[in-house]
Structure 1
Amino acid sequence: MTYKHLFFDLDHTLWDFERNSAESLTDIYHNFELINHGVMSLGDFVRAFLEINTQLWNDFDRGLIAHTYIREHRFRLVFEALKVENVAFGSALGEEYLKLLPQKAHLLDGAVALLEYCANKNYQLHIVTNGFDSIQASKMQSSGIHHYFQHVVTNERAGAKKPDAQIFAYALQAAGAQPQESLMIGDNWEADIMGALRFGIDAAFYNPKKVSFETKPTYDVQHLDELKSIL
C-alpha cells in the first residue's frame, strides 16, 4: 500500500503522557505540600490520578461525559479514592495541572526518529486528537514536534471526537486526502483503530502492551521504529 497522508494520535502515541503527567503531578505534590493535607504517598497520588484520568477519558471517548467534566472532577475523584477530605483543593490543582502538563517535553522512544524518517520520505503528516485545542498545541510546541505537521485536527475543530466518522471526514477534507492513501497511527483501539477502519482508513495500532482483539488492525506494532518497515 502506498500512503501519502499519515494521521497520528498525539497522547500515548508520540507524546509520553504517563511520564509528563507523573512529572507534573510530582511538582504539584511538592508545591502544594499535599503530604500536609493527608496525601501521604506521592506514588499513590500519581497512580490514583493516572487510573482515574484514564477511566474518565475512556468515558469521554464513549460519549458518556464531556470534556468539562474531566477538568472539573478528576482531582476530586483522586482525593476521594485516596480518602482525603479536601475537595475544595481540587480546583486549584486542576488549574495548576493544566498549566504544568503542556510544558513537559518527553516523547515516546522513537517518536522523533519516526517523524524525521516520514518527513524525509515526503509523507504529509497530521495530528488527529480528542485532546483540548490549546493544550495539544502547547504540548507539540514544548516537545518540538509542531513543525512536522501540516494539520492538527481536534474534536473542538471538527465538532466530533474519535471514533466518530465526522472527525475522520473533517481530517481528510482538511488534508485534501483520500481514505485509500491515508494511514491512522494510534494507541487507542476504539478511538484510533476502529474509528479509522470503519471509515475505510488503514490503521497502525501502536501496541506496546501486546493487547489482542478479535478484529485485526492493518498493522500491529510494539515500537514506533517498526513503522519504518511499513512506510
Structure 2
Amino acid sequence: MPALRYKAVFFDLDDTLFDHRAHRREALAALRAAVRLNGDVAASLEAAHERHLQRTHGLLLAGAITLEQARLERLRGALADHGLEVDDERLASLEAVYRSAYDRHWRSVPGSVELLDALKRAGAWVAVVTNGRKNDQLAKLQRLGLLPRVDDVLISEELGCEKPSLEFFALAAKRARCQACECVMVGDLWNTDIVGATASGMSAVWLNRYQRDPQANAAATEIRSFQPLESVLEHFLQP
C-alpha cells in the first residue's frame, strides 16, 4: 500500500460514523404511525425535527435544559408544526415510541468501519472529534464497537469549545502531536466540519451522502460514500 498523505485522520461522529439520520427516519416512521400521519409528510416531519433539534441543542449543551426536556421539546415542536398539539402525558408516550425505535436500529455508516480499520493498518493516528455530551457520544462509540478502532476521542463538552472553532481544531492537532497541515478531517457537515478544519490549516474530506449542494474549497475533497473502500482510500494515500 502507498504511504499515507496524512499523519492524523479525524472523523466526525454523527452521520459520519454513527448513522443518525437513518436511525431518526425509522424512529419518525414509528411516530407517524402512532399519531396517524400520512407517509407523504415524512420529509417535512424530518425537517421539522431537525429544526427543533438545533433549537434545543445549544440549550442542552449550555445546561439550560435537561436531555429529557430537549427530547420532549423537539418532538412537541415537530408535531405542532404539523398541526398536532398534545398534552404532556401523550407527549411522553410518543417520545417513548420514538426513542424505542431510534435505539433499536443503531448502526454505523456503511463502509466506515472498514475505512477506520484500513487507515489504522496503514499507520494513521485516528481520532473521533464530535460536538455533544460526553456520555451520549461515548455510548454510541461503545455500542457500535468503534472505541477500540480509534486512538482518541475529542468531545466538545470536555474540551470547552466546539467545531468549527479554530480552538477546537488546534486542540485536535495538538492531541495528535501533529501540525495542522499533517491532518485531515472527515465529516458530513460543511460549515461545522469542513470549513472549520480547512480554516485551521487541515485538509478535509466531505462525506456528502445526501447530495447537498456542492461547495468550493481547494482544501476539501467531496465523496458520496465510504464505498468502495479502495476508491475512498485513494484520498488518504500518496499518489
TM-score (norm 2): 0.78
Aligned CA distance change for structure 1 residues 29 and 214 (closer, same or farther; 3 Å): closer
Aligned CA distance change for structure 1 residues 87 and 177 (closer, same or farther; 3 Å): farther
Aligned CA distance change for structure 1 residues 179 and 87 (closer, same or farther; 3 Å): farther
Residues 32 and 39, structure 2, Cα contact 8 Å, conserved in 1? no
Which deviations, in whole Å up to 9, do the C-alpha atoms of 1:125-176 show, x marking residues without a partner?
1111113321211111222222111221121011111111122122222332
Distance in 2 of aligned mates of 1:203 and 1:87: 45
Distance in 2 of aligned mates of 1:58 and 1:164: 18
Distance in 1 of aligned mates of 2:115 and 2:56: 29
Distance in 2 of aligned mates of 1:98 and 1:136: 16
User: What corresponds to 1:213 in structure 2?
Assistant: 215
User: What corresponds to 1:180 in structure 2?
Assistant: 181
Residues 184 and 205, structure 2, Cα contact 8 Å, conserved in 1? yes
Residues 172 and 179, structure 1, Cα contact 8 Å, conserved in 2? yes
Residues 205 and 217, structure 1, Cα contact 8 Å, conserved in 2? no
Q: Secondary structure at the match of 1:54?
A: helix
What RMSD in Å do the two structures reach over aligned CA positions? 2.8
Which deviations, in whole Å up to 9, do the C-alpha atoms of 1:167-209 show, x marking residues without a partner?
2122222332321111000010000000001111111111231
What 5-or-longer segments of structure 2 have no aligned partner? none
User: What corresponds to 1:66 in structure 2?
Assistant: 59
CA positional deviation for 1:56: 4.2
Aligned: 1:21 with 2:24 = yes
CA positional deviation for 1:210: 5.6
Aligned: 1:107 with 2:108 = yes
Distance in 2 of aligned mates of 1:134 and 1:103: 18
Aligned CA distance change for structure 1 residues 11 and 106 (closer, same or farther; 3 Å): same
Q: Secondary structure at the match of 2:196?
A: helix
User: What corresponds to 2:15 in structure 1?
Assistant: 12
Aligned CA distance change for structure 1 residues 45 and 211 (closer, same or farther; 3 Å): closer
Which deviations, in whole Å up to 9, do the C-alpha atoms of 1:38-69 show, x marking residues without a partner?
x21374675455212333455689xxx43348
Distance in 2 of aligned mates of 1:60 and 1:123: 36
CA positional deviation for 1:123: 0.9
Aligned: 1:230 with 2:235 = yes
Q: Secondary structure at the match of 1:11?
A: coil
CA positional deviation for 1:96: 6.9
User: What corresponds to 2:85 in structure 1?
Assistant: 85
Distance in 2 of aligned mates of 1:152 and 1:102: 22
What 5-or-longer segments of structure 1 have no aligned partner? none
With 16-25 and 139-148 compared, the bigger mean Cα shift is at 16-25
Distance in 2 of aligned mates of 1:70 and 1:216: 38
Q: Secondary structure at the match of 1:66?
A: helix
Aligned CA distance change for structure 1 residues 77 and 55 (closer, same or farther; 3 Å): same
Q: How many aligned residue pairs are there?
A: 221
With 5-14 and 130-139 compared, the bigger mean Cα shift is at 130-139
User: What corresponds to 2:48 in structure 1?
Assistant: 52
User: What corresponds to 1:171 in structure 2?
Assistant: 172
Aligned CA distance change for structure 1 residues 154 and 44 (closer, same or farther; 3 Å): farther
Residues 49 and 75, structure 1, Cα contact 8 Å, conserved in 2? no
